[in-house]
Each structure stands twice: as C-alpha cells, then as structure tokens.
Amino acid sequence: MQSTKKLSWKSHKNWIGENRYWGLWLISPWLLGLLLFKLVPIVGSFALSLTNMFLLEPDQAQFVGLKNYIDTFRDPNVGVVFITTVKLALILVPLQTGFSILIATLLSNKKLLMKNSMRALFFIPSIIPSAANVYMWRGFVNPTTGWLNRLILDPLGLERLNIFAGRGAGQALFILSMLWTIGPSILINMGAIQSIPSELHEAAKIDGAGYWRRWWAITLPLITPAIFFTLILNLTAVFSGALILDRGYNHNSGLSSYDQYIYFMLFRAFKLGAASSLAWVFFVFVMLVVLVLFITSKRWVYFPEAEDQA
C-alpha cells in the first residue's frame, strides 16, 4: 500500500506561485470590470464632489473643497428626503425579511407538493429588473386601464381600487414590487433551513415540542446567519432602488426619496458636484448602518465557529 507523500512548505509555495498567474488571468474580466465600472467612477465621483462642476459648463469647474458637503447639511430638502427614505426602509426591510422567512419555511415543508415548481415560481419575478417591475405594477393597478380593476374587480361587481392613482402612490408601488422580488432571500433562507440536522427536530419532537415550538427554538436561531445576510442585501437594495419612485415626476421634498433628490440635482439642476456630495453623504450613512448591524450581530446571530473557539 503506497503512502501519500505530503508536500513540503517550499513545494506548496512554488505550486501557488506557478498557478497564481493562471488564477489572475481567469478572473481578469471581473477585475477589469471592477476597475473600469466601479473603482474609477467611485474615485471620480469623490473628486467631482470637491468641485462646483455644472453639467452644462464642465470647462468652468473649480475646486471648492468641502463646500458642497457643508451645503448638503444646510439644505432643508436633504433632511426631508432623508427621513422619507429611512421611513420607507423601516417599512420595507422588515416586510421583506419576514415574508422571505415565512415563504422559505413553507417551501421547506416536507408535505408540500410540487416543491421545485413552487420554488421556481417564487424566484422568477426576481429576474425581472426593478424598474420594469414598478412600471408593470403601475399598469396592473391603473384605475382606468389596469388589469386589477377591469379584469378582476369589475367582473365581480366590486368597487374599483384607486389608492395607487395619486402622486404619493409611488412608495406603495415600490413596496409592492420589492415584495414581489424576494426570490433570492427566500432561497438563502430555505437553504439555511434545509441545512439544519434533522436529528435536532426529532429529539425535540420526542421531548414533546410541537411544530411551532421547534421552529421558534431550533429553526429560527440556527438560520440567523442567513437572516442577517438577507437583511444586509434588502437594506442596500432599498436604499439604492428608491430612485424609481419618482421617475417622471417633478421633485417634491415631502414625497421624494433621497436618490430622487440626487437625480433632481444632477439632471434637473445640472449640479454635478452637489449631486456627487449628496451621494457620498448617503454612502457614508449606509456604511455606518451596515457597520452597526455587524457590531450588534454578535448579540442575535448564531455563529458556530465562535462557539467552537470558545
């Protein structure tokens, strides 16, 4: 019986050195895209935020330092749209997280029929772009030509639904469309649920624990890492996707989102420098929120690795 010869550290180091360039070559398309379409625009936007660049007169741009950031904090509209966007996130993120956990639990039930078909149906809407989702829902709930009223409510003799017809209906439509695209969150939570050892549930069942008791005491704590991951994804998606709320409308500080105010400053007021500073202020805020979530995750997220080390 031949013995397996272990590689020495020197041989292992040489092997890594020889194959490192192959790895870099294989990921070079991604690295090129990251450099050209991510890092360069990010650095460029920060440089523009330090100038008074006017979109229609770029040749007259001058360095103004932190003036745009000071103006951002003095602008009363910034506070209003900031609060509007945070309120939207406080409504949508819990709804997305809760619904994704609930649906993942139902799809993981062993008694469910046509599991693969049901999973595909819940995931397919997430493939459609967010902007297309919003416009599709606008057409669906249109009070005069929408399918909801003409094909469902009218034939049943029910009163027409007009709550999505007003100027402030954008937030309701955005929430509706975002809840419709929680397929990735469902799959992540479903994978976490199915990875739980069945022995834990069987032991709890023998001890007399019912289904919901087992779900609350075993399933929910063990999938908290997946919940935490989907929470971060949903949070960043809400903050980056709220722009489509007001596309096609004039800016209204009481109804518009923070992203829409950036859009207004850039394409309506043509103040590229001010728009860049607005974007960077919001970026810092989102990063602080994510940092707080990571710090507090030690209190409510179950990390098996940390338990093993202890």
Neighbours of 180 (CB within 10 A): 16
Same domain, 14 and 100: no
Q: Is the pLDDT of residue 182 over 50?
A: yes
pLDDT recorded at residue 6: 52
Domain that holds residue 115: 68-128+181-309
pLDDT recorded at residue 71: 94
For residue 40, the Cα-to-chain-centroid distance in whole angstroms is 23
73 inside domain? yes
**Is there a contact between 112 and 194 (Cβ–Cβ < 8 Å)?**
no
Task: Copy the structure tokens of residue 61.
Answer: 């741009």
pTM value > 0.95: no
Same domain, 81 and 32: no
Same domain, 106 and 210: yes
CATH number at residue 283: 1.10.3720.10
Counted domains in the chain: 2
**Is there a contact between 204 and 218 (Cβ–Cβ < 8 Å)?**
yes
Q: Is the pLDDT of residue 242 over 80?
A: no
Give the mean pLDDT of the chain: 81
Same domain, 44 and 185: no
Distance CA 123, CA 100 (A): 11
Contacts of 215 (CB under 8 A, 6+ apart): 105
Digit-coded pLDDT (tens) for 243-275: 444 444 444 444 457 878 888 888 888 999 999
pLDDT (mean) for 169-187:
77
169 inside domain? no
Rounded to 5°, the CA angle 242-45-289 comes to 50
**Is there a contact between 274 and 71 (Cβ–Cβ < 8 Å)?**
yes
Same domain, 246 and 297: yes
pLDDT (mean) for 46-53:
93
Digit-coded pLDDT (tens) for 274-307: 999 999 999 999 899 999 999 999 899 988 765 5
31 inside domain? yes
Half-sphere exposure of 20 (CA within 13 A, CB side): 7
Same domain, 228 and 120: yes
pLDDT recorded at residue 220: 93
Q: Is the pLDDT of residue 8 over 70?
A: no
